[in-house]
Amino acid sequence: MSAAHSGEVGAEAIRPPGATVRRAPSRSSRKRESSESLNQNGHRVTIDQVAREAGVSTATVSRVLAGIGSVNATMAAEVKRVAATLGYRPFGAARDLASGHHRSIGVVVPDLANPYFYDIIQSAQTAAAKDGYRMLIADSGGDPATELSMCEDLLSQAGGLIVQSSRMDVTALKSLAAHNSPVVLINRVEYGVDLPHVGVDNFSAMLEICHHLTSLGHSKAVYLAGPASSWQNQERWRAIQQARMMGLEATAITAEPTIQGGYAATDAALVERPTAIIAFNDLVASGVLARLRELGVDVPKKMSVTGFDDIVFAKFTQPALTTAVTPRAVLGEQAWKILKARLNGHALPEVPLVKAEVLIRDSSAAPPER
């Protein structure tokens, strides 16, 4: 093969004499003190070096490493060997620029310290990784303004976005949609906003919880509500209100969506003299349980408590929590599926809200006789 086997002399020598003489590359003196992924000599190993060393063209190296097209087996092996020897790792930015799209997707969540989000992140990450995408994550702290700018920001490094339980108002959401970038919402449904979403059918599940309670004989409950801007909270509360027709009287008291929040709000809830406390989620319910125990209120004999989500701990609280299983892994996969379709310009698959199964455990029972 009389390939461009130029060895060490190569490139410079074969430049045609008539070519415009380029100004000597001042670049050689450009600062390069930040040592990120450089080899021993302080230089990044590039695809050109691999190509030269292996006696092939950069195109071939690219093909071999990407596993695209067909290449002579011997050649491929040699390329791989050289790449390994040199410790070559492609420079992602160059690849993305050349191919015209980022290989990362951004994920923004309201609170990285909340276990609820991790199951979704985990499954989305696994699914995306399978397709060669990495995941950038960011914590908006639950602040709507931060959330929007965070999204805008990520969009310059990511090919698409998965936005979890967005707290943005409709205007912000619309302005995000106007970017025309691949974005999918998780657990935020907003008609009139042109953004695909996946989510849990909170309404049905909460209605079922209410039904469970009324069939047990409860008629007076307190809802420890989550953030007002949260769609999930709105849906859950809507269901509880709907349950009035089943004979369930309920008032809402806002609580921080954390264990501490539930703990702190319990006393206020008790003032209403309910026989059941419906918590926004399992975190809140756990806090309620803890406070009730302190207060000596027997659960479920004197008070029924329900959660939502079925986080790992729900099964191990004392007593074990009655809750609704929101299939988080499914949500993550669905979100990626839609995003992927969007990235590839395919038609978006229709995914209905995911049903949440209600799990009756030990924290709910018939109300005490009055």
Partner DNA sequence: CTGTTAGCGCTTTCAT
Partner DNA sequence: ATGAAAGCGCTAACAG
**34 contact, one of DNA, a second copy, none, CB 5-8 Å limit per kind:** a second copy
- Spatial distance between the Cα atoms of 326 and 334, rounded to a whole number of angstroms: 14
Please provide the distance, in angstroms rounded to a whole number, between the alpha carbons at the two ends of the chain: 95
Question: Helix (H, G, I), strand (E, B), or coil: what is residue 354?
Answer: strand
Among residues 16, 91, 13, 14, which one has the least CA distance to residue 50?
Answer: 91
Does 312 bind a second copy (CB under 8 A)? Our answer is yes
**137 contact, one of a second copy, DNA, none, CB 5-8 Å limit per kind:** a second copy
> What is the sign of the dihedral through the CA atoms of 190, 331, 229 and 212?
positive
Does 287 bind a second copy (CB under 8 A)? Our answer is yes
Does 289 bind a second copy (CB under 8 A)? Our answer is yes
**66 contact, one of DNA, a second copy, none, CB 5-8 Å limit per kind:** DNA
Shortest distance, position 46 Cβ to DNA, whole Å: 4
Nearest CB to a second copy, comparing residues 182 and 367: 182
**122 contact, one of a second copy, DNA, none, CB 5-8 Å limit per kind:** a second copy
Residues 8-67 that bind a second copy (CB under 8 A): 19-20, 30, 32-40
When binding is defined by CB under 7 A, the residue of 40, 41, 70, 344 that contacts DNA is 70
Does 242 bind a second copy (CB under 8 A)? Our answer is no
Residue type, 89: R
- Spatial distance between the Cα atoms of 138 and 164, rounded to a whole number of angstroms: 11
Shortest distance, position 300 Cβ to DNA, whole Å: 59
**Residue 224 backbone zone (phi > 0: left; psi -120 to 50: alpha; other: beta):** beta
* Residue 119 CB contacts under 8 Å (≥ 6 apart), including other chains: 328, 329, 332
> What is the sign of the dihedral through the CA atoms of 104, 105, 108 and 109?
negative
* Residue 99 CB contacts under 8 Å (≥ 6 apart), including other chains: none
Nearest CB to a second copy, comparing residues 286 and 304: 286
Q: Which stretch binds a second copy (CB under 8 A): 66-74, 127-135, 267-275, 299-307?
A: 127-135
Question: Using CB under 7 A as the criterion, which residues of the chain lie in contact with DNA when the complex forms?
Answer: 1, 3-4, 22-27, 29-31, 44, 46-48, 55-63, 65-66, 68-72, 75, 88, 90-91, 94-95, 97-100
